[in-house]
Structure 1
C-alpha cells in the first residue's frame, strides 16, 4: 500500500502488501491507518455520514453519556469496519490482483479496533461472465420474482422472512437484519453481494402482516458476488445510466415524475428510483416497489 506522510503526500507506492488496519474514533472523528508488512503506515481519511464524532446534542462535558450512546458507537464502528473492508479489498485487487480479508479484534471497545489482513485469490465475480447475477424482477401490482422464490404483496410476513433467510444462505451472506422503519410493522434486509434486498411489511385490517414494499440498493463500483440486479420491463434499473432509465420508461409509456432532488417515481407502477443525496452518481443506487392502492385497500391499514 503506501505511505502518504509529509514526504509522500498524494502519492501511492504500488505493490506494498497490507498487514494490519487500525480504526480509531477520537474527538476529531473516525479515521483508519493501513500498516504494510514493513511497518510503513498510511493514514486514510474517512468520508461520508457517520464519520464525525458527534456527541449527544445538548450534552455537557461533565454529563454522563446517555444509555443509547454506546449502542450508537457500536453501530457506527461496525458500519465503518465494513466500509474499510470493501475499500481495502478493492484497492488490493487494483494494485496487487488479490482480495483482502480483515479479521477484526477489539482493542478498546467500541471505538478502537485492529484488523489483521489476509490476501486471497480474486473473487471470480470480478471478471465479467464468471458468476451469474442475482436478478430481482419487479412486477408492479404483484411484487418481485427472485431466482428461486417470490416476494409477492400477498405474501405473509413469516414467509417473507423465510425467503430472505434462504437468500442469505444462497449468497453466503449474514442472516437478514431486522430494524425499525417508521410507518411499517416490520422491516428486514439481507445482503446480496454488496447490495441489499429489503422487505417492509404492514398489518392489514384482517390482522395479517403482509409485504408492503420491496427495496433493492447497491453502491457504486464493483457490486460483489453475486451482483444484485433489479429489473423492470427488461431494464436493468441500477446498471444503466439514470437518464437512460428514465428515457426508456417514458418511451414505454410510463408516467415519470421527479421525486426529491435526485430521484424519480413511476406513480402508476408504484416504483421509486433514487441516487445518493450527498454525491449523486451517474446511475441509480436504489429502487423501491410499493403495494398499489388497490391492494392496500384490501390488505393494509393506512
Structure 2
C-alpha cells in the first residue's frame, strides 16, 4: 500500500518514486513532454523564464502522479489515493503523503452526470448552465469559465499564450479541460474565436467532459466511427498533419492516435472571424 510519493527534478529531468508502507520504493513512469532533457555538457546560465517553467512543469507532473496513483489503487484496492504535497526544495523537489479514501462515485457508470459541451457550428457551444456564443466578449467568456470551475470544484481559469490569439484561458473539467481563445475583431472588441474541449483516454474524472456535435460524442466514439458518421452526413473531412479538419463546420479533431483510438480533443472556430467578416 503506497504511503509516500517523491517527485524531483535534476540535471537529467524529472523522476518520481512511490514508497510503500514497508519502505519498498518503485520508480514511476512519468512520460509526456518536458520530463527528460539533456544539457549536452553545457553550463549556460538559466534564462529568466526557467524558474516559472519548472514550477509549471512540476505542477503538471504532480497532477499526473496523483491521477496515475489513484487509478492504480482503485484498480488494485478499490479505493482512491489522495496525495497531499509538500515542497522540499521548491520548485524541483516535492514529497507527497498518501491518504486512501472511498472511491469517487463517478467511477461507476450512471452515478454522476457528465459535463456536456454541445458544439454548434457558426454559433458557439451550449454548456449545462451557460451559452458560449462567438459574439461573447472576452470578459464574459472568462466569467463563464470561472463559473465552470466553481461548478466542477477545480482551480480558477489559467491564462496561457497561444500563437495567433489575443487571449486563451482554460479550466479543468474532471480530467479534461475546456479552453476558450479570443480574437480582437475589426471593431476593436475581443470575442470568443475558438472553443476547445480536451480529454485524455481512460477514466474521465468527476464530472467527465463530453463534447458533442450533431448527437455525436466526439471524444468517446472510436475516431474512425466519428469520421465515418460525418462523411455519411455529407461533411468533407480533410486530414492535415494528423488532424481531422471539417472546413465547412470550422471543426478540428485531434489527435487520432491509431486504429480504434478515440480523439483526444475537439476545437470549433468562428468561421466569420477568419473570413474577415468580424
Q: TM-score, normalised by structure 2?
A: 0.95
Q: Is the 8 A contact 1:275 1:281 kept in 2?
A: no
1:202-217 map, 5 Å: 202-217=183-198
The Cα shift of 1:69 comes to: 1.4
- What residue in structure 2 maps to residue 8 of structure 1? none
- What residue in structure 1 maps to residue 3 of structure 2? 19
Runs of 4+ aligned structure 1 residues displaced above 4 Å come to none
Question: In 1, distance between residues paired with 2:214 and 2:200?
Answer: 22
- What residue in structure 1 maps to residue 82 of structure 2? 101
- In the alignment, is residue 176 of structure 1 matched against residue 157 of structure 2? yes
- What residue in structure 2 maps to residue 3 of structure 1? none
- Unpaired runs of 5+ in structure 2? none
- In the alignment, is residue 29 of structure 1 matched against residue 33 of structure 2? no
Question: In 2, distance between residues paired with 1:112 and 1:228?
Answer: 32
1:287 counterpart (266, 270, 274): 266
SS at the partner of 2:97?
A: strand
Between the two proteins, the alignment pairs up a number of residues equal to 278
1:52 counterpart (36, 43, 52): 36
Question: In 1, distance between residues paired with 2:22 and 2:93?
Answer: 22
2:120 counterpart (139, 142, 146): 139
- What residue in structure 2 maps to residue 275 of structure 1? 255
Cα RMSD between the aligned structures? Answer: 1.7
Larger Cα-atom Rg: 1
The Cα shift of 1:182 comes to: 0.9
Q: Is the 8 A contact 2:178 2:196 kept in 1?
A: yes
- What residue in structure 1 maps to residue 219 of structure 2? 238
Question: In 2, distance between residues paired with 1:276 and 1:117?
Answer: 35
